[in-house]
Amino acid sequence: MAKFDTIIIKVKRQQRRETKPYGEEFHLPYRPYMNIISCLQEIQKNPKTFDGRRTSPIAWEQSCLEEICGSCTMVINGRVRQACSTLVDKIGPVITLEPMTKFPVLRDLVVNRKVIFERFKQVKAWVETNQTSGPGTQIAPELAEKRYHLSKCMTCGCCMEACPQINERSDFIGPAAINQVRLFNTHPIGAKLKENRLLALMQGGGIEDCGNAQNCVKVCPKGIPLVTSIIETNREISLGLIGLLKK
Amino acid sequence: MDDVRSTKYMAKISSSFILKRLHSLSGVFPIGFFLLEHMLSNSLILFGAEAYNRQIHFLQSLPFVVFMELTFIALPILYHAGYGIFVTLSGRTNLSSYPFTQNYLYTLQRITGVIALIYIAVHTYETRIVNAMYGTEVSFARMQEIVANPVMFWFYVIGLAAICFHFANGIWGFCVSWGLAVSEKAQRNVGIGFGTLGLLIFIVGTASLVKLL
């Protein structure tokens, strides 16, 4: 168990998108079993910095509080993760909270992750069907099991935050969208759009920008085999290229 | 929806995708194959001056040697290096936050690429370009003269190490980029296999350099 009385929380804050970020430090009395959200709620009750100066309440996002929704994703002690499932007892008395760096900051710890949704639309991450009658397609249990693991993505943005190939000089589509391509290309009806999805990944900023640093799979809180998804998709693309040569 | 096999489909593939795949391919063929040939020829140093000089004469006697050197060695290396610098500049390493093994390999691949480029430029000048400009013979004696300088000897060892790492890790990257090694097990086996090959080339290469002293 923890051997400290005070939790020191340093927050990187920012009033608006256009204004400059600044740091503020908060001290909290230690209680067992706290997570980052409960620390932020404790500060919320009476927002005063460690030297007693009154300040505005910290803004952050939260919803499910059980690592399902991804909304409380932030950079905690330099590493991206969910605030709800990060326990104070595990990461020690000094905690730094920063907003994610690969998405525009709206205020304090709140970022706009809309770009992930845009990426998913780019690769047509849906099952398209215009037949609404008749029985649905059957999926083998083995395939359903495999696809279930791919479907767990909660668009939290961890993989994109940890990716060295996504930055202000490069707009790589990111591991999450590539995983969606594999998810929907392995669906019997979704596979109708297979070639379109692969083609979407062969555009600028597409799958070729992957640098194989493999940070994505290490930081994914849902344990999605993101690297395998990228390689599998590369394989599909290679087979398509061989098909072109055979023509 | 377009058929994969239609030319319309082909036209929709962006140039950045094709350039990146060419970068990946050029590292294996022809550059990787040239490296293997080159290191195999160099290993003849271990069998003495005569065996090594005979190999050099054989290579120089090949037909269209200048054309082959330009097409299969110089141009691919220049392309690989140029695109590699572009790739390096478009990434931003984050080892302090994410100190994972593969992330170290990612960073090292870029660093060794730059070291290899500097080494290859100096090495090519000292051997091939000097030969073309002033007619200096490339031979066992000439190589002895180069590595007699301790600074150059260590420069050669470091250059060799960088190239061996870049080669081994690059082939692993090739298997990933083209989807040849999909499962984690396959990835590990490919890594071990080519890691061993890279280490072997480094050992033989270093032994050849030591033999020249």
pLDDT single digits (tens) A20-39: 999 999 999 999 999 999 99
Helices A226-246 + B150-177 axis angle, to 10: 80
For residue B49, the domain's CATH number is 1.20.1300.10
The C-alpha of A37 sits at a distance from chain B's nearest C-alpha, in angstroms, of 22
Q: Which of residues 133-192 of B touch A (CB under 8 A)?
A: 173, 176-184, 187
Q: Which CATH number fits domain A6-111: 3.10.20.30, 3.40.30.10, 1.10.3720.10, 3.90.1150.10?
A: 3.10.20.30
Q: What is the pLDDT of residues B151-196, one digit of tens each?
A: 999 999 999 999 999 999 999 999 999 999 998 899 999 999 999 9
Burial of B166 (0-12, 13-18, 19+ CB in 10 A): buried
CB A177, CB A200: distance < 8 Å: no
Return the sign of the alpha-carbon dihedral for residues A164, A168, A170, A175.
positive
- pLDDT for A247 equals 66
Q: What is the pLDDT of residues B15-68, one digit of tens each?
A: 999 999 999 999 999 999 999 999 999 999 999 999 999 999 999 999 999 999
Q: What is the pLDDT of residues B109-146, one digit of tens each?
A: 999 999 999 999 999 999 999 998 998 889 999 999 99
In a domain, B5, yes or no: no
CA nearest to A176, candidates A235, A228, A116: A116
pLDDT at A232 > cutoff 60: yes
Indicate which of B95, B108, B177 best probes the interface with A, i.e. most A CBs within 10 Å of its own CB: B177
Closest CB to A164: pick one of B93, B179, B183. Answer: B93
CA nearest to B123, candidates B156, B167, B154: B156
CB pairs under 8 A between A and B: 120
Please judge whether B98 and A165 are an interchain contact, meaning their C-beta atoms are less than 8 angstroms apart. no
Q: Calculate what percentage of chain A has a pLDDT beyond 70.
A: 98
B131 touches chain A (CB under 8 A): no
Over residues B6-23, mean pLDDT: 84
Class for the domain spanning A114-246: mainly alpha
The C-alpha of A46 sits at a distance from chain B's nearest C-alpha, in angstroms, of 32
Over residues A182-187, mean pLDDT: 96
- Give the count of domains, chain B: 1
**Cα-flanking dihedrals φ and ψ of residue A21, to 5°?**
-75, 155
pLDDT at B1 > cutoff 50: no
- pLDDT for A125 equals 97
Please judge whether B182 and A228 are an interchain contact, meaning their C-beta atoms are less than 8 angstroms apart. yes
More confident residue, A244 or B77: B77
Residue A219: in which H helix or E strand, if any? helix A215-219
Closest CB to A162: pick one of B17, B98, B179. Answer: B98
Question: Mean pLDDT for chain A?
Answer: 94
Residues in chain A within 8 Å Cβ distance of B179: 231-239
- pLDDT for A2 equals 59
In a domain, B2, yes or no: no
